[in-house]
Structures are given as structure tokens and as C-alpha cells.
Amino acid sequence: MGATIARLSQSLRVQLLCWVLLTLLGAIGFNLYDSFWTADATAKLVTDRTLLASARVIAEAVRVDEGGNVQVDVPPSALEMFDTGFGDGVSYQVITAWGSLVSGFPDLPLPAVQRTGEDRAFHGADVRVLMLDHPVVGLPDDGAISVTVAVTHNSQYAMRRQLWLSDFSKQFVLVFVASLVTILGLQRGLAPALRLRDALRQRGRNRLDPLPPEMVQSELQPLVHALNDYMERVQNQMAAQRRFVSNAAHQLRTPLALISTQASVAAREADAARRDEALFALRTSTKQISRLASQLLTLSRAEPGSRRPRSDATDLTKAAREILESHAEEALKRNIDVGLEAVRPVIVDGDATMLREMLVNLIDNAIRYTRPNGRVTVAVGQADGNAVVTVEDNGPGIPSGEREQVFERFYRVIGIEGEGSGLGLAIVREVVEGAGGSVSLEDAEGGGLVVTVRLPLA
């Protein structure tokens, strides 16, 4: 039962129907409350008119005899008009202007205002009372008599109930019809959305062509456009993955072939010097393929969604200093002057491991492509609320027309010497964009390249 209720609560049909019914029930509840008091006022009005008519009939039956005495013979019609089948009790009183009782009950309660009905209690029962002053010919100075008639509430309450139930039945029919119309309307209104669902289900897993937005209502067309945009991004990502796998296989095939050849040469070579030369080449190729595999792994980790997001406080100044120290030996071998310009810690939030990989690739690229006796300068600072890292070298640089392509995987600038794999800047961009920053390339003064990375400060 609980599972069924939970499933129904997630249904759009059920939710919309509930909101429509709640609105209708709220309006109908107010209408029924208002109609109850309207029915009560109507029943009171009818009862008062009947009481007034009865009082007039009695008053018109009053006469003065030859001796000046006031007498009345109450016509049966004056009392029978209350015989509606609900067992009402009728009481009356006729008194003169000087207070003499002519007929009826002497203790009948009198209303405060004549011709207006009032609710009173009489002999343990609730009654509706109305009084009428009526002139009588024959009395001194055209004197008048007062006729008071009272009736129990049975007929009044029955009339109120019938009026209210009649209105209630109309409201119930209205709710029922509105519910049916709402259900039919929801069925027809949701039909395009269901067709969209069926169209998506019937597609093969490799089919990602766009859906026609006209198949649904205008309110749902933005959803179709969003689905089409998403499928286009998936197509682009799948194409990028295919290119990546193809390029990775190509990049791995060459060093693996070299390793196999060099191992065979070393195994066959009898001369120790030539065997050592083959083993050195084998170690070099092994290092290249190891670095390529490491970069491929780093790139896969840097891609969105490949790992759980982390938010580490990372000091870029400290990280840059440690990475430069680890590359100092390689720089000394080639007589490259490396330096760090940073005066204080610069803290950013992000994945500390990936941010270090970003710096490693920037510094490694700069040292790798800088000619011997060159220089590499790393600067870490702050500007406009961002952490700014610049890596400047006096190497061959990158032509302006290729500065966007170098961020693609395995892209290498033709004519530039170096043993790179074409993944360094691709890793840098993935890490920087994943941290909410940006990266740009510019010419260095006197030749070379300046890579600038901007990241939000912590």
C-alpha cells in the first residue's frame, strides 16, 4: 500500500488532478457555507411571511360587539397554513391596546419589533415569534389590537435543509463532471509527452539524431530542445572518445614497437658497448611510454564526471616551488635557468592532485621545449579576485593560428622539436575548466610562450 501511494504521489496526472480538485473543493466548500446561510435566511423569510399572514387573518377576525367588548373567532385557516407535515406547534395571543387578553396564551413572549420575526423560547421549545398591531373599528379613538403568532422551527429547519441539500447535490455533480473533464483533459494533454517518451524508448542506443519539437505542446518544446542539445553533446563526446582511443592506440603502438625492436637488438648484440646503447634506448622508450600512460590516466581523471568532486585548499605557491625543485635536475642537465616569482601563499579550492598535475604539465612542457641555455619563469600571484599562474619560456613558442588546436589531445605543432605526446595542454585545460578557471596563451617578450592560468581564489 505504501509503495502504491508513493508511486501515485509521483504521477503528474495525480498531482494535477489533486490540485484541480483541491481548488474546486475549496471553492465548493465556501459556496456550501454561503448557501447554508442563504438557505437559513430564505427559510426565516418564508416563515416570517407566513406568520405575518396568519396574524393578519386573526386580526381581521377581531370585532367589537354591541356592548363594546372585543371578541375574536380565530379562523381555522390562520392556523392551518402552518400544517406542512412537519408537526409544528402554533401559538397565538390577541391583546388590546390597554393590555387586556382577548384570546390565546397570556405568557407568549413578545418580540421587540413588530412585523419582524424573532427566535424565542416558549414552554421549553424554540419558536419563531412575530407581532402585528392592527386597528379595529368600534374601539375608542380608533384603538388597535396586537396579534402575536409563534410557531416551532420544524418546518423552517426542513426548508433550510432541503434548500441546502439541493445546492449541495448541484455542487457534487459539478465536482464529478469537473473531475471527469480534468481526467480527460490530462489524458489528452499528456498524450504528446507520452509520445515523446515512446519515441525515445523505441530508439536504438546509437541513434542520437534530434527530435522534432513540434511533436509536443509549446510549453514542452524547450524540453525537446534541451534533449536535442544533450544528444548533440553526447554525440560530440562519443566522437571525441573515439578519436581519443584511436590516437592513444596510435601513440602507444610506436613506442611499443621500438621497445620490442630494442629488446631484440640488445638480446642479440654480443658487443657490450652496442648492447648498452640498445639498453639505454630501451630505457628511454620505456620512460616515454610510461609518461604517455601516466598522462593518459591523468587526462581520464581530469574529464568531468570521471571522479568524485573534491574541494581541497591548495597553496599554488608551495605546489609550484615543489614541482620546480623536482624538475631542477633535468633543467640543470640542459643548463636551463628556472625561477619562481611568488611572495606569499595563494590559496584556491579544488582537487589538489589535479591542480598539481596541471602545474606539472605546464612546467614540464616549458622545460621540455626550451632549448639549452634557455630560461623558464613561473609566477604565482593574485589579480581581480583570481589566482594567476604564469609560466614563461623563451622557447620556439606557438603560432597564433594554432593556439586553440594545441589544447586538443595529441595535437603537436609541426616543426617544433621535443619529445612531447601532445597531451600536456589538453590536461591543463581539463583541470582548469573543471576548477572554474581559464587558460590563455600569449607571446613572450623576446620570443617564446607565456601560459596564463586564472583560478577563483578560495
Q: Where are the domains of the chain?
A: 1-162, 219-301, 309-456
Q: How far apart are CA 137 and CA 11, in angstroms?
A: 80
Q: How confident is the model at residue 219 (pLDDT cuts 50, 70, 90)?
A: confident
Residues sharing a CB contact under 8 Å with residue 219, sequence separation 6 or more, in sequence order: none
Q: Residues with Cβ < 8 Å from 263, sequence gap 6 or more?
A: 282
What's domain 1-162's architecture?
A: 2-Layer Sandwich (3.30)
Distances (CA, A) of 25 to 28, 59, 93, 162: 5, 50, 48, 21
Q: Burial, 415: exposed, middle or buried (Cβ in 10 Å; 0-12, 13-18, 19+)?
A: exposed
pLDDT tops 90 at residue 321: yes
Give pLDDT, residue 308: 59
Please give the pLDDT value at position 27. 86
CA angle centred on 320, ends 315 and 322, rounded to 5°: 100
Confidence tier at 300 by pLDDT (50, 70, 90)? low
Strands 125-135 and 118-122: antiparallel
The rounded mean pLDDT for the chain is: 84
Compare 396 and 40 and report the one with higher pLDDT.
40
| Beta-bridge partners for 407 | none
Q: Which residue has the higher pLDDT, 77 or 418?
A: 77
Range with the largest mean pLDDT of 47-61, 160-174, 226-240, 260-274: 47-61
**CATH class belonging to 219-301:** mainly alpha
Mean pLDDT of the region 140-168:
90
pTM check: above 0.75: no
Pick left, alpha or beta for residue 44 (phi over 0 → left; psi -120 to 50 → alpha; otherwise beta): alpha
- Alpha-helical (H) ranges within 303-409 are 316-326, 328-333, 352-369
Query: At 180, which amino acid appears?
Result: L
Range scoring the smallest mean pLDDT among 16-30, 133-147, 411-425: 411-425
Closest CA to 128 of 59, 46, 219: 46
423 confidence band (pLDDT: 50, 70, 90): confident
Q: How many helices (H) and strands (E) does the chain have?
A: 10, 14
Cα atoms in the Cβ-side hemisphere of radius 13 Å centred on 59: 22
Q: How confident is the model at residue 2 (pLDDT cuts 50, 70, 90)?
A: low
pLDDT-derived band at 414, boundaries 50, 70, 90: low
Calculate mean pLDDT across residues 247-270: 73
Percentage of the chain exceeding pLDDT 90: 35
Taking 60 as the threshold, does the pLDDT of residue 417 lie above it? no
Question: Does residue 1 register a pLDDT over 70?
Answer: no
Per-residue model confidence (pLDDT) at position 306: 52
State the amino acid at position 240 in one-letter form. Answer: A
Residues across the chain: 458
How far apart CA 262 and CA 245 sit, in angstroms, is: 26
Which CATH class, in words, describes the domain spanning 309-456?
A: alpha beta
**Contact between residue 55 and residue 74 where contact means Cβ atoms under 8 Å apart:** no
Cell of 372: 639549452
